[in-house]
Each structure stands twice: as structure tokens, then as C-alpha cells.
A and B are shown apart, each in its own frame.
Chain A
Amino acid sequence: MGSIHQDALPGVIFEEYALLSVDELSRLCAVDKTYIVELVEEGVLSVVEVSASEWRFAGSALRRARTALRLQRDLEINLPGVALALELMEQLEVLRRELKVGR
């Protein structure tokens, strides 16, 4: 089977349809459920309310949780530190865009 001449694999934008439970998100991040709960409690992840009975996350939570996880593991910072780093990185991203776009 040629790997290059195969038909193109249909890709879908994960963020556009995904609505994740705590179970799914923890499985996708390969972490324990309690870690996801900690991220919510620290305000790193926000819950999209659909039903009061169970938490649901937007698809974008996957990337955010994985980034938090990497920062925590690689730089050995605690959760409040991770939350702060993520917020500052977002602000930096906005400023970078404005620098390019605005004038």
C-alpha cells in the first residue's frame, strides 16, 4: 500500500463539533479525571453548561488542557502558575496580532 498516493484522509475541525465530558477529556489528555477537575477549579478550563447534571467542555479545552499539562510537566510549575502563564500567553498573542494588524 503506497502511503503517499492514498486518497486524502477526510479531516474535520475538532473544535467545531466536539462537546466533551470529563471522561472524554481526561482520556484524550491521558490524565486522571481529578486533574481535569483541578484545571476547572483553577479557572484554566471553563465548563460549557448544557445540563446541570454533567460537565461539558468545548473542543478547544483539549488543546488548552494539553498545553497546561506540558507546562506543568516540563517547567515544574504549579497550577496557579500554569493558569497565570496561559493568561499571559494569551495576552501576548493578542498584542502580537495587534502589532501586525493595527496601525
Chain B
Amino acid sequence: MEFKDYYQVMGVARDATEAQIKQAYRKLARKYHPDVSKEKNAEARFKEVGEAYEVLKSPEKRAAYDQLGQGPRPGEDFRPPPDWGSGFEFSGAGAAAGHADYSEFFESLFGAAGGGARNRRGFDNGRGQDHHAKVMLDLESTLQGGSRTFTLRVPEIDAEGRLIAKERVLNVQVPKGILPGQTIRLAGQGSSPGPGGNPGDLFIEVEFQPHPLYHVDGRDLYLDLPVAPWEAALGATVKTPTPGGPVDLKIPPGSHAGTKLRLKGRGIPASTPGDFYVVLQIALPAATDEKAKAAYRALADALPFNPRTALGV
């Protein structure tokens, strides 16, 4: 098992005061809170920081942890010493509610989340508990619908009363037209309350994976489309990718960088579907060979053009 250097996780010295530890925790918690942070590993970091704080904020746990010394070098195998924990009394045993994800290291030292008495609420009215999860969807699933396989981590209480995270694989028919920030409800896929009662529901919050081509704004989709200067100036018909496959798009003459062209109703489906917008960008051919340079020179000779008139120079 991997030794965790909680001081390093929190970025504090080993002799940090309680106040310093609390301050460091607050700062990191705000930085990595999964609702606030857009960093990729935010949730994992938030849990790691929470675990470190759980130990360092409690004088008993911290003292016991300090007894381990620096541990083996990070990443090396760690076993708790046989006399571990003797002489310490851990008040408020176990972990705060809602954490199924303490590391093996933490659990070997301080036990799992502290008995099966927790998390039992929600079994009232003979109805099982609702579950909540979060998934990342690709844009294609909202455009076309269709089934997707989700792997969810479900907290569960095992036979020994420990809280563990179990993997659950679900095949879900994704409703067409779902938007980021919306929720898929799966009736009856929450906890079972035991015989006779109705199971709870499963709520899956949806976010979209960034698409390599399209940006989403509400139900509208945006594509940046590079065009040649002469295509923009003279007008042209160019091949354009759309979620439904490539189309021939007419660029009107006199277009410029930032010109927005709309393909009505080709956004995210709904009773009033979103639109598909193409935003033109002018791409310049590189003047690397003599032929290209000559062409640019000819253009410069032919056109008296000052792109900076608006700047007063």
C-alpha cells in the first residue's frame, strides 16, 4: 500500500499549527471543489485534500500519524506497524459522512467510514434511497440519442459494515436533445428498501466532453470554418462538416473574418431545435515559394489597401 504524505498533500510544514492547516485546507478545498474547479483531476485532488485534513485537523489522529515518521519513500510499500494506534483514542471514529473514497492507506490506519449505522436515512415510507451520479457525454449522444454504457461508483455497505465503493455498469438509453447541466432520471435504479418497498431512482447529471470541432451554446452549435481570402471575398461553395455529415455551404461574396452563417435547425434536437452556426476565419496561404511571393506582390500592387485606417494611422 502506498504511504500518503498528508503534509505534502496539504502543502504545509510538519510543524504547522492547527490554524495554518485549516487555512491551507480551506484554500485547497475552494480550489479543487468539483463544483467550482474546472481542473481535470479536481475531484481526486479534493478527496485527497479532504482525507489529509481529516487526519491533520484531529490532534489524536495527527499525533498517531506523526508517529509513523516520514514513512517509506513516497510510492514505496507501506505496512502499519503492529503496535499502531495503541495509546491513542480516536474520537468521532471513522470518517465524515459521504466519503466512500478514502485511500487504502487511510482505512488501514483509521478504519473505514465507521460502522454501518450511517447513511441509513431515506428508507422512510418504504421507499429506497435515490442515487446521484455524474457522467461525461459525447455530443453525438444528444444529437442522435442511442444507448451508452456508464460505469458508476456506488457507495455500499459490505457484510462487515464497511462503506465501500462498488462499480456498477449501466446501459442507458440517452434521451435525444439532453443539454449539459441536465439530468437523466432512471426510475427504480436507486437503492432497494427490501421486500415490499419501492426502490429509489437514479439521477445522472450530464456534462459534455469538449468536441474537437463544435462548441455548444444552449441548443446551438458553433463551428469555426477556415476559408481562403478569395473564397471570402468572391464567394464560394465549400465543404463544411456538420454533425449530420458534410454539406456544401455557400459563402456569400464580401464575407470577412467573423461572418456568421446559420444553418437553421441543425443544432441540438428539440421541439424547436437549435441552430448550427458557421463562423468564418480567414486562413492565409504561406508565402514560402517564389510563386506564392509573386502572387502576394501582384495583389499588393493591384490593391491600394490599408487595413489600419480605423486606427488613425
Contacts and interface: CB of A to CB of B under 8 A. Distances in A.
Interface stretch (B9-17, B180-188, B234-242): B180-188
B222 A75 contact: no
B36 interface: yes
A30 B177 contact: no
Given A7-B171, A100-B215, A13 B182 contact: yes
Interface string B105-144: 0000000000000000110000001101000000000000
A7 B205 CA distance: 21
A12 B173 CA distance: 9
B225 to A, nearest CB: 12
A25 to B, nearest CB: 12
A42 interface: no
Contact of A66 (B122, B132, B171, B173): B132
B217 A9 contact: no
Interface in A29-61: 30, 59-60
A19 B168 CA distance: 29
Interface string B168-179: 111111110110
A95 interface: no
Interface string B272-294: 00000001000000000000000
Query: Size class of A's contact patch?
Result: 35 or more
Interface stretch (B27-35, B79-87, B154-162): B27-35
Interface in B206-263: 215, 217, 222, 224, 258
B203 interface: yes
B215 A101 contact: yes
Given A4-B149, A74-B33, A100-B215, A14 B183 contact: yes
B212 to A, nearest CB: 13
Interface residues of B, number: 42
A27 to B, nearest CB: 8
Contact of A11 (B33, B184, B205): B184
Contacts, number: 94
A4 B35 contact: no
A11 B203 CA distance: 10
Contacts of B215: 97, 100-101
Contacts of A97: 215, 217
B171 A9 contact: yes
Given A11-B175, A71-B33, 10 more contacts: A6-B171, A8-B173, A9-B186, A12-B185, A13-B185, A14-B183, A18-B185, A66-B132, A85-B36, A100-B222
- Pairs of residues from A and B, 10 with the lowest C-beta to C-beta distance, nearest first: A8-B147, A11-B184, A14-B183, A8-B173, A14-B185, A100-B215, A8-B171, A15-B182, A10-B173, A101-B222
16 contacts: A3-B168, A6-B171, A9-B172, A10-B173, A11-B175, A13-B177, A13-B182, A14-B183, A14-B185, A14-B203, A15-B183, A30-B129, A62-B183, A62-B203, A97-B217, A101-B215
